[in-house]
Amino acid sequence: MIPWEKIDTARIPGTEDELRLMRRGKEFSIMLGTNELMNSRLSGSEAALATLAAKKIEKVAKPHLLVGGLGMGFTLRAALGALGNKAQIVVVELVPAVVAWARGPMAEIFGDSLGDPRVSIREADVTEIIRSHRSKFDAILLDVDNGPEGLTRKANDALYSSAGLKAAHTALRPGGVLAVWSSGPNPAFAKRLHGAGFDVNEVNIRATGRGGGARHIIWIATKN
């Protein structure tokens, strides 16, 4: 068995916590404490976050997407594959080192996705990006925690609060979609989505995307 090797660490802004980038052979893992936030072998549900949202807006000629969380780029690459050449995708990543990892040790995983002319990367807080726009995006895709609570940092709770969801509703164009990834169900969050004015569909997706692995949840919330 090949042992895990720590490649780098990165402090999460506004916290004392660190992300750890681990490698075992060609496999990568991003860890926060004892929690594995993502693994390069398990991309199915993160890719589905993009493909399910893209299906909802397939009739939009020039879709504008906001992706919260770069991670290992699974959601970004799936969005690029599902959308036409007139799409614009803004990826917002809070931790600058995650972007550096994408261009460095994990460059093979990312391929040419970061250089795609449809993509722009912003090192910022996605909460602030959402709050500062009105009727801007056709889809907002969120995968910044292990679910609708602030795991990576407590301030992320604002994303999933009633006020945060209403801000997302405001930032979307009519018929726009808010898609949120989670490692498990959260009935209270689904209720808040309804309360913020969304039509909500909760989808169960396997982690591998091929019928195996843990079951994850994706909320597809459509602006009324």
146-166 pLDDT, tens per residue?
A: 667 655 545 678 888 999 999
Q: What is the pLDDT of residue 131?
A: 95
Residue 21 has pLDDT above 70, yes or no: yes
Are 35 and 116 in contact by the 8 Å Cβ rule? The answer is: no
Q: What is the pLDDT of residue 158?
A: 83
Q: What is the pLDDT of residue 209?
A: 54
pTM of the model: 0.92
Band of residue 64 on the pLDDT scale cut at 50, 70, 90: very high
Provide mean pLDDT across the span 116-143.
Answer: 96
The pairs formed by 26-34 with CB atoms below 8 angstroms and a separation of 24 or more are 26/108, 28/72, 28/105, 28/106, 28/109, 29/4, 30/71, 30/72, 30/98, 32/151, 32/152
Residue 77 has pLDDT above 60, yes or no: yes
**Rounded mean pLDDT of the chain?**
91
3-class state of residue 208 by DSSP? coil
What share of the chain has pLDDT > 90, as a percent? 74
Are 167 and 223 in contact by the 8 Å Cβ rule? The answer is: no
Q: What is the pLDDT of residue 149?
A: 67
Q: What is the pLDDT of residue 155?
A: 64
Q: What is the pLDDT of residue 52?
A: 96
Residue 15 has pLDDT above 70, yes or no: yes
What is Dmax (Cα atoms) for the chain? 52
Per-residue pLDDT reduced to its tens digit, 168-222: 999 999 999 999 988 788 898 999 999 999 999 999 887 665 555 678 899 999 9
Provide mean pLDDT across the span 80-103.
Answer: 96
* Phi, psi torsion values for 105, nearest 5 degrees: -60, -25
Q: What is the pLDDT of residue 216?
A: 86
Spell out a b/e string for 133-158, using b for 16 or more CB atoms within 10 Å of the CB, else e: beebbbbbbbbbbbbbebbbbeebeb
Residue 14 has pLDDT above 80, yes or no: yes
The Cα–Cα gap between 42 and 177 comes to 24
How far does CA 178 lie from the centroid of its chain?
11
Provide mean pLDDT across the span 91-112.
Answer: 96
Provide mean pLDDT across the span 79-90.
Answer: 96
The Cα–Cα gap between 129 and 217 comes to 24
The Cα–Cα gap between 57 and 149 comes to 26
Are 92 and 66 in contact by the 8 Å Cβ rule? The answer is: yes
